[in-house]
Amino acid sequence: GADDTEEKTQTIDPKHIFPPQHTDMPEEMRVETMELCVTACEKFATNNESAAKMIKESMDKKFGSSWHVVIGEGFGFEITHEVKNLLYMFFGGGLAVCVWKCS
C-alpha cells in the first residue's frame, strides 16, 4: 500500500498538471486555486495548518469572504458549499485538499 503510493508519486510528480478529484469551479478560478494549493502545500510541507491558513486567506482576498480549507491524509467529510465554489484535489500522493466557499 504505502510502498505502492510512494512508487506512484515518483511516477506522478514530474507530471505537473493533474485534474482535481472533484470540482465545479470555472476554469480560471480552478487553475488559480490549484496552483495556490500546490504552492501552499509545498511551502508548508510539514504543517497542514499553516498551509490551510495561507490558502484560506488568499482565497478570501481574491474571491470573497468565507472560504474554508481542510488539508489532511485521512478524513471523511460532508459539506454544504456555494455552487461553483468547491475544489477537492489530491497532492503529492498522500495529501487531500478540500477548499470550499460558504458564508
Partner 1 sequence: MSVSHKVGTMKSKQVSSFVMQDEEEGLDTAEGEEWMQGKTLVKPPDQLDLTEAELNEEITRVLKASNPNAPQNVVRYSFKEGCYKPIVFVDQMAIHFELEGNLVHKESDEGRRLMAKQAEVDDGGGVERPDNVAIKAAKREQKLTNQFNFNERASQTLNNTPRDISCQTEPPPRANFSATANQWEIYDFYVEELQRREKSKEKHEGQFLNKEEDKSKKKMIQAETQNDDISQLAKVVKIIERMVNQNIFDDVAQDFMYFEDASDEFRGEKGTLLPLWTFQYDKAKSLSVTALCWNHKYNDLFAVGLGSHEFTQQGGGMLLFYTLKNPSYPEFIFNTASGVMCLDIHEHLSYLVAVGLYDGCVAVYNLKKKTDQPIYNSRASSGKHTSAVMQVKWQKDDLDSNHNFISVSADGRLVSWTLVKHELVFTEIIKLPVIDTIPDDLKDVIPTVGTSLDFHKQKDYSFLVGTEHGKIHKGSKYYSSKFLEKYDAHFMNVTRVKWNPFHPDVFISCGWDWMVKIWDQTMKSPVFTFELKTSVTDVAWAPYSSTVFAAVTTDGKVHVFDLNINKYEALCQQKVVSKKTKLFNIEFNPVHPIIIVGDDRGHVTSLKLSPNLRKKPKEKKGQDLPKGPEVEIAKMEQLLSSMR
Q: Hunting for cell 495561507 — which residue is that?
A: 54
- Specify the long-range contacts of residues 76-80, CB closer than 8 Å, at least 24 apart: none
- b/e 46-60 (16+ beta carbons within 10 angstroms → b): eebeebbebbbebbe
Is residue 16 part of the contact set for partner 1 (CB under 8 A)? no
Q: What whole-number distance in Å separates Cα of residue 3 and Cα of residue 72?
A: 19
With binding defined as CB under 8 A, does residue 22 bind partner 1?
yes
Binding-site size, partner 1 (CB under 8 A):
39
Question: Which of 46, 80 has the CB closer to partner 1?
Answer: 80
Which grid coordinates belong to 91? 497532492
Instruction: Tell me how far apart the alpha carbons of residues 3 and 44 are, in angstroms, rounded to a whole number.
Output: 23
Footprint of partner 1 on residues 80-99 (CB under 8 A)?
A: 80-83, 85-86, 88, 90, 93-96, 98
Of 45 and 79, which CB lies nearer to partner 1 in the complex structure? Answer: 79
The reply on whether position 77 binds partner 1 by CB under 8 A is yes
Tell me which residues touch partner 1 (CB under 8 A): 1-2, 4-5, 8, 11-12, 15, 18-24, 30, 72-83, 85-86, 88, 90, 93-96, 98, 100, 102
